[in-house]
């Protein structure tokens, strides 16, 4: 059984400052369906059907283990994201993420490894929200440089890059990613950033302490 916590509103707001770039969100089903999947559903007001807005109370419930949410990377008003996450869930996934992390360090970019159900995620945080298209250019070229496969064009195994789109039209959401530090409802486990103690407060302290990628540095990395 997963650990339950009682985090403060301050901790929830720390999470929002780091991860939340758009207030729409999804909620994971509490139990697997008959086919074994545990899908996410866009959170909506039951009366108006309008998308609900993510707030500190919902984030507290996620961190405590009462429900599990996912996050949309791109804010369509700006076409920017606070972060880029590399998802790897194939054989040798963690080795590929470590190679990417090492190469990022050579570029002066700090990245945090998060465990996941079938592999891991590698997170890079912006000092301010960065253009999704610029982030994707950088990571795709980094993967090409290292020979790390990218899952696209029918390729079954490879990394997935979130945000999955360069930009969104009005009314679009793009692809969402499970919010970190919560409980995966398929396994009833939490998946942590192993560089910090397995508590929400310690995890967020670690992530907040990482140097953040600036727009100036990103532009220099993708020039040409």
Q: pLDDT tens digits for 67-112? A: 999 999 999 999 999 999 999 888 778 888 998 999 999 999 999 9
Whole-model pTM: value is 0.93
Tell me how far apart the alpha carbons of residues 47 and 30 are, in angstroms, rounded to a whole number. Answer: 21
Question: Is residue 26 in some structural domain?
Answer: yes
pLDDT of residue 7: 97
Tell me how far apart the alpha carbons of residues 178 and 26 are, in angstroms, rounded to a whole number. Answer: 9
Q: Which of 30-44, 144-158, 181-195 has the lowest average pLDDT?
A: 144-158
Structural Rg of the chain based on CA atoms: 17
Per-residue model confidence as pLDDT tens digits over 188-201: 999 999 999 999 99
Question: Is residue 179 in some structural domain?
Answer: yes
Spell 99-118 as b/e; 16+ CB within 10 A means b: bbbebbeeeebbbbbbebee
Question: Is residue 118 in some structural domain?
Answer: yes
Question: Is residue 156 in some structural domain?
Answer: yes
Question: Is residue 213 in some structural domain?
Answer: yes
Q: How many domains does the structure of the chain reveal?
A: 1
Average pLDDT score, the chain: 93
Per-residue model confidence as pLDDT tens digits over 51-71: 999 999 999 999 999 999 999
Say which CATH number the domain at 111 has.
3.90.920
- 196, 206 contact by CB (below 8 A): yes
Cα distances from 73 to residues 70, 84, 121, 157, 178, in angstroms, run 10, 8, 14, 22, 11
Q: Report CA torsion sign: 183, 189, 195, 199.
A: positive
Question: Is residue 205 in some structural domain?
Answer: yes
Question: Is residue 181 in some structural domain?
Answer: yes
Locus of tokens 């697997």: 32
Provide the residue range defining the domain that includes 26: 9-222
Question: Is residue 60 in some structural domain?
Answer: yes
Counting residues of the chain whose pLDDT is more than 70, the rounded percentage is: 97
Locus of tokens 């912006």: 126
Per-residue model confidence as pLDDT tens digits over 168-181: 998 899 999 999 99
């Amino acid at each position: 059984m997963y650990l339950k916590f009682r985090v403060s509103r301050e901790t929830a707001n720390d999470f929002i400052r780091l991860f939340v770039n758009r207030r729409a969100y999804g909620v994971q089903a509490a139990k697997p369906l008959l086919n074994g999947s545990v899908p996410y559903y866009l959170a909506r007001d039951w009366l108006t059907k309008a998308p609900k807005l993510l707030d500190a109370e919902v984030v507290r419930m996620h961190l405590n283990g009462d429900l599990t949410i996912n996050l949309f990377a791109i804010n369509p008003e700006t076409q920017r994201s606070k972060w880029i996450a590399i998802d790897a869930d194939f054989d040798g996934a963690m080795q590929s993420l470590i190679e990417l992390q090492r190469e990022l360090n050579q570029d002066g970019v700090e990245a945090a490894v998060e465990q996941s159900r079938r592999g891991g995620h590698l997170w890079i945080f912006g000092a301010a929200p960065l253009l999704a298209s610029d982030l994707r250019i950088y990571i795709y070229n980094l993967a090409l440089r290292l020979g790390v496969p990218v899952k696209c064009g029918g390729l079954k195994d490879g990394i997935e890059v979130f945000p999955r789109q360069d930009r969104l039209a009005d009314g679009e959401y793009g692809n969402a990613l499970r919010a970190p530090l919560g409980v995966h409802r398929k396994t009833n486990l939490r998946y942590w950033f192993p560089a910090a103690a397995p508590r929400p407060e310690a995890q967020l302290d670690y992530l907040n302490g990482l140097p953040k990628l600036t727009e100036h540095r990103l532009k220099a990395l993708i020039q040409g």
